[in-house]
Amino acid sequence: MVVYQRKSHQRAAALSLVDSRCASLVVAQDAAPSSSVALPPLEGSSLDPASGDLDAARAARKRQQISSLAAHALAVVDEIGAGARVVEFGAGSGHLGLLVAHVRPDCVVTLVELKAHSCAVARERAASLPNVSIFEGSVDDFAATDEPFDCALGLHLCGLLTDSVAALVVRRRARAAIVPCCYGQLAGIEDHRRGGGIAPSGRARSDAFAAALGDGDAADAWASVCRSADGVATSKGGGFDVADPSFESAARAMALVDSDRCHWLRQAGYRAALSRLEPPTCSPKASVLLLRPPSDG
């Protein structure tokens, strides 16, 4: 007799199988960093990322996301020092990059965005910041300019874009603070042409995870784990309910996928680590991928 399972049950079984093979490879999340520069309050300011049509709860979460990743970014910029060349990829209208440029006027910030409308808004917002420039184009378009940079940033870079930016960071021996998103893209059938020759595969990228999964059912289950990382989270009290089983399941899937990314980048000699956005209720996609070149101390 054929037994049919609901998709949620199939994904739970796939996550359990992959976790049983790869739990020892999961990279622990480091504590959130501190910076020498204090961040200004965002609410009601010209830097407020929630000045559009967001309700109060979503606006508060957006400010938390931007402020938290900015703290990671500024800690990395502290390592580089004055004159750091910072690039925000997938910048949209520049919420993150503009905040970094505001608190670190000694740095040069470039906002890279593909959408013309978002670039136009970013130019208006950056008019009073002489250390900001806008680049309209893709990651590959920017890479083709050979413009040097020291640090790459990205908040909720969709699926393949995270890996494309990470690959560019490794080639340029730069640093990075990136929050991934849209994990299911990694196992999708559509090539979103995010750049860097990165395409969906449905397989783990690193040798370590590939070896642990083998060639059988566990390897086939990886695609389901990627999709599970995009699980729907429920809101609670203005934030996301971290005790919700669906939140916990998605968080475990994200930990596996982002740990695979860390091992993949470590194969290139890079130092790859994970941290998180704070508070954890601000976003179901709260993993922060931190990259540093091997020459760092």
pLDDT in tens, 117-171: 999 999 999 999 999 999 999 999 999 999 999 999 999 999 899 999 999 999 9
Minimum mean pLDDT range among 38-42, 99-103, 233-237, 272-276: 233-237
pLDDT in tens, 221-260: 999 999 999 987 666 666 678 778 888 999 999 999 999 9
**Is the bond into 279 cis (omega within 30 degrees of 0)?**
yes
Locate tokens 């566990």: which residue?
218
What are the beta bridge partners of residue 85? 108
Q: What is the spatial distance between Cα 107 and Cα 92, in angstroms, rounded to a whole number?
A: 20
| pTM for the full predicted model | 0.92
Q: What is the spatial distance between Cα 84 and Cα 207, in angstroms, rounded to a whole number?
A: 33
pLDDT in tens, 79-105: 999 999 999 999 999 999 999 999 999
Instruction: Give the CATH architecture of domain 7-29+58-292.
Output: 3-Layer(aba) Sandwich (3.40)
Q: What is the spatial distance between Cα 267 and Cα 286, in angstroms, rounded to a whole number?
A: 24
Provide the total of helices (H) and of strands (E) in the chain, helices listed first: 9, 9
Query: Running DSSP on this structure, what letter comes out for residue 93?
Result: T
What's the angle, vertex CA 202, arms to CA 197 and CA 204, rounded to 5?
85
Helix or strand or coil: residue 171?
helix
41 pLDDT tier (thresholds 50, 70, 90): confident
Domain ranges of the chain: 7-29+58-292
Query: Computed over its alpha carbons, how large is the radius of gyration of the chain?
Result: 19
**Residue 35: how many CB atoms within 10 A of its CB?**
17
